[in-house]
Structure 1
Amino acid sequence: MYVADLIKFGAVYYALVAPQPPPYAAPEHVRIFREVTEPSLLRRRASIKGKTVREAQKTFRVTDPSQRLEAGTYLRVHVHPKRFPRCYEIDWKSRVVATTDDFVVLNKPAATSEKQVKKVYLALTTEPVSPGIITHYMRPLNRAPRLVSEDHIERWHLCQMEILDCKKVPWPKPLITKVHKVDNCGWPKQEAAYECKINLMTGKTHQIRAQLAAIGAPIVGDSAYMTGAIAAMADPSINPYGRASLNYSSEEEKAAAVEAWVACHGKEPKSVIGLQASEISWDHEGEHHYYKAGAPWWRQDAVESDLV
C-alpha cells in the first residue's frame, strides 16, 4: 500500500538508462552505474534502440502500480516526497489574494506546482542588469543545475526573458536576512542590490536563476547558482559554455570540463531567495484578470521577535 501511495503522490520515476551520478556520489553508486550502462549491455536492449544516451536518460513518472519496467531500467523513488510535507507547513488562508466562483488566486510559495499563466517576476540581483531581452539556450537535461549557453546549440531549449526595469535598492538588512535565513553563499559584502522586473517570455525550470547567474548577476540567496557565478568571476574560462571558454581537444576533455562546471554549483536553497512572482494575469471567458502580490521579503520590515 505504501508503494501505491508513493506512485499516487507522483514520487516514483523511471528512465531507460540511469543518469550520470553527481560528483559527490559514493563509490558503490558509481560502480553500479558503470555496470548497468556498459555499452555492450545497452546495445542488447531493444527499448533504447535508435535513442541517444541522453534521450534514454529522460525521466518519466510511474503512474500505475502494475506498470512493468524492463530489467536495467533506472528507478528513482522519493521515499519522503519533498513537496508534500511542505504543503502542511504553509498557512494557505493567509496567501489567498482573491476568490471568485471560477478560481482562487494564491501567493504561491516556492517549491509548489503551478499552471502556465502570464507572470511578471521581481528578482533581487547582486549586480545591475540592463533593460532588454536576454537570450540563452538551456541544456535539455532534467536535473540541476540547469546549464545555459549564449550560443545556439542543437537541441538545447531557447530561453528568453525581458528585463523591464532594474533599480538600485539597499542590500537586505542583516536582521531581514537572519529572519528569512538567507544564505550569502560567500558573496562579497556590498551596500546595494538591484531589483529587476522581469517578463518571462519562455518558461523553463530555473530559467531566471540560471540566466541571471550566467550574466554575472545571480539572485541573492540562490545557493545553487550564486556559487557558480562566483567561480566564473574568479576564472571565466571555467564555464565551458561561456564567452571565455577554452578550446577542447576532444569530446572527453569537453565532458570533463562540463562536469567540473557542474561541480562549481551548490545545492538547492533551503530558504528564500530573491525571487518573487509579482504579477499574474490571464484571460478567462472573454475577461482579463490581473492580480499583484504583496511586497517581497527583502522590502518587508523585521523585528527581533520574528526570530523566535
Structure 2
Amino acid sequence: YDRLLPCPGDDLPVRIEHLFVEKNGNVVDYLCQALSLPSLYVNDLIEFGAVYHALRCSEPPETAPKEHMEFYKRALAMDLPRVKGMSVQESQKARRIVSKHEEVEAGSYMRVHVHPRRFPRQETLAGCFFSLVYTRVFFVVRCYEVDWKSRILAENDLFVVLDKPAGVSVGGSVDNLEESCVTFASRALGMAFPLLVTHQIDNCTEGCVVLAKDKDFVSNFNRLLRTRKVDKRYLVLAAFPVPLGIVSHYMRPDHFAPHLLSQDKRQGWHLCSMEVLQCHQVEWPSEARLRENGVSNCELEHDGHAYECEVKLLTGKTHQVRAQFAALGAPILGDTIYIPAAIARRQNRAIDPVLRDDGQWSEEREERWILHHGSSAPKLAIGLQASSISWIGDTTIDILLVDEEPIDRESSQSNFSFHASSPWWRAT
C-alpha cells in the first residue's frame, strides 16, 4: 500500500475491516497502527469517504458471517463510550469520518473499506526507443480524463444539468464518494459545497442527470419524479429489434443485480413500464469504437447490424431498461450482466422459470437461472444513454411548484428540456 492513486490495474478484492478502538486518539494514527497502513493511504481512504465510525457496534443480522457475530459478542463485553442523550439506535449509526484530524474514543466502533471500489480502464501505449519497440499498459479511472466543464448542459441558482460520462457514478458509493459526478462537477463549477443527487442512472449509462444546489430543490424534484411529471427519454443500442409500443413487466424487489422480470403480475413485485417510440437498424460499432469506450462484445453473434431504439420511461426502477430489453431477447450492447442470460434464453426459453409462469417454478430452478447472468458489472459504457429530460416548473418562486392537477401553462411556468450530446456509438 502506498496511495489510492494512481489507480490499480483492476478492482482489488473486497476488504472491509471491523475494529474496536482500543484507546483515545487521532483517527489516522489509530488506523495506521491497527491496520499496518501508511498514513498517506489512510488519508486517502478518509478523502474517499471509506472510513466510518459509530459509538457502538450494531447487532449483525442473522445472515451475517460467523466472524461478525463473534465480533459483536466481544463488543458486548467491552467498556463502551458514554452515549448520554442518545438512543441506542443513534449511538449505533455509523457516520463517515470526513477529516484526518478527528479523534476517536476507546471502545467505539470503526468500519474501514480498505479497497474502495474503482472503475479502472486499461490503456495501451505503443512506443519506440532506438530500435526497440515497446508496449506499455496502464490503467486510468474515467473521472480523471473527463473535461467536466464541457459536460455542463445547464446551470441556474437551483440546479445543474450534467451530461454524465459512462464509467462514473452519479453520487459515489458507500466506499468511494471522491470519484463521482457530484464531486468533479462541483469542482468544475468552483462550488464551495458539493451538488446534491436528485436521481440516479447506472455507472455504465451516459447522459442527462439533474443535480441540485439545495435540499428544497431535491424534495420538489423528487415529488415530480414520484408523480411522473418528469419526462425521461433513453437511446438504446440493442443487439436485435424490439416491437414499438408500451412494454410492461414485473420486477422482483432485489437489492442487487440481476433483477428478475416476469410477464405475470406477482405479489410484491414492482411494475416496470416503458414505451418504445422508435427502433431502426444501424451499423454495429467498429471494434475500435467498442474498445475506445470499454464495451465488451460478450460473444454476441451479429450480422453487422444493431438496432437503435428511443424509449420513454414510464416507471423508474433500477436496471429497468437493461432488464426489459434482455427479457425481450434484445440485450443492450456491452451489458455483461444481462447478455449471457439473454443468449441462454434464446437457445432454450424454458431455462427462465420466471419470465413466464409454466407452473413448474422452484427455488432451485430460479437459482440456476440467476447463475446464467454475468457476475461482473460493465467496466465502462454500454449501449444506453439518458438522452433527454424535461419538466415544467416555476422559475420565480419555486421552480417546481406544480400541483398534482393538470398544469396551467401561465407565463410564470417554464418548460425545462435538456438533451445529451450524441451517444458514443454514433459516428462523429
**TM-score, structure 1 normalization:** 0.71
Q: Which amino acid aligns with 1:108?
A: K
Separation in 2 of the partners of 1:15 and 1:62?
A: 13
Separation in 2 of the partners of 1:178 and 1:14?
A: 46
Contact 1:123 1:198 in 2 (8 A): yes
Q: Mark the CA change 1:65 to 1:108 in structure 2 (over 3 Å): closer, same or farther.
A: closer
Q: Which residue of 1 aligns with 2:354?
A: 241
- 1:115 correspondence with 2:198: yes
Pick the aligned partner of 1:143 from 256, 259, 262: 256
1:223 aligns to what SS in structure 2?
A: coil
Alignment of 1:145-164 (within 5 A): 145-164=258-277
- 1:64 correspondence with 2:177: no
Q: Which amino acid aligns with 2:368?
A: A
Measured after TM superposition, the shift of residue 109 of structure 1 is: 2.6
Task: Give the number of equivalent residue pairs.
Answer: 252
Contact 2:235 2:309 in 1 (8 A): yes
Contact 2:50 2:112 in 1 (8 A): no
Q: Which has the larger radius of gyration?
A: 2
Structure 2's unaligned 5+ residue stretches are 1-26, 32-41, 53-57, 70-91, 98-109, 120-140, 172-196, 200-229, 395-412
Q: Mark the CA change 1:274 to 1:62 in structure 2 (over 3 Å): closer, same or farther.
A: farther
Q: Which amino acid aligns with 1:298?
A: W
- 1:82 correspondence with 2:117: yes
- 1:92 correspondence with 2:148: yes
Q: Which amino acid aligns with 1:224?
A: I
Q: Which residue of 2 aligns with 1:126?
A: 239
Separation in 2 of the partners of 1:76 and 1:90?
A: 32
2:339 aligns to what SS in structure 1?
A: helix
Measured after TM superposition, the shift of residue 131 of structure 1 is: 1.1
Separation in 2 of the partners of 1:282 and 1:92?
A: 24
Higher mean alpha-carbon deviation, 211-220 vs 237-246, is at 237-246
Separation in 2 of the partners of 1:264 and 1:288?
A: 44
Measured after TM superposition, the shift of residue 112 of structure 1 is: 1.6
2:276 aligns to what SS in structure 1?
A: strand
Contact 2:51 2:96 in 1 (8 A): no
Q: Which residue of 1 aligns with 2:387?
A: 278
Separation in 1 of the partners of 2:307 and 2:390?
A: 25
1:298 aligns to what SS in structure 2?
A: coil
Q: Which amino acid aligns with 1:296?
A: P
Q: CA RMSD in A?
A: 3.3
2:338 aligns to what SS in structure 1?
A: helix
Separation in 1 of the partners of 2:236 and 2:117?
A: 24
Contact 2:388 2:419 in 1 (8 A): yes
Superposed CA offset, 1:106-147 (max 9, x none): 101343245245310000001111111111111111011111
Q: Mark the CA change 1:154 to 1:94 in structure 2 (over 3 Å): closer, same or farther.
A: same
Q: Which residue of 2 aligns with 1:16?
A: 61
Q: Which residue of 1 aligns with 2:367?
A: 259
Separation in 2 of the partners of 1:175 and 1:76?
A: 42
Q: Mark the CA change 1:220 to 1:289 in structure 2 (over 3 Å): closer, same or farther.
A: same
Alignment of 1:187-266 (within 5 A): 187-243=300-356, 245=358, 247-248=360-361, 254-266=362-374
Contact 1:119 1:199 in 2 (8 A): yes
Measured after TM superposition, the shift of residue 235 of structure 1 is: 1.5
Measured after TM superposition, the shift of residue 205 of structure 1 is: 0.6
Higher mean alpha-carbon deviation, 110-119 vs 204-213, is at 110-119
Contact 1:136 1:151 in 2 (8 A): yes
- 1:166 correspondence with 2:279: yes
Separation in 2 of the partners of 1:15 and 1:283?
A: 45
Measured after TM superposition, the shift of residue 80 of structure 1 is: 3.7
Measured after TM superposition, the shift of residue 7 of structure 1 is: 12
Larger relative helix fraction: 1
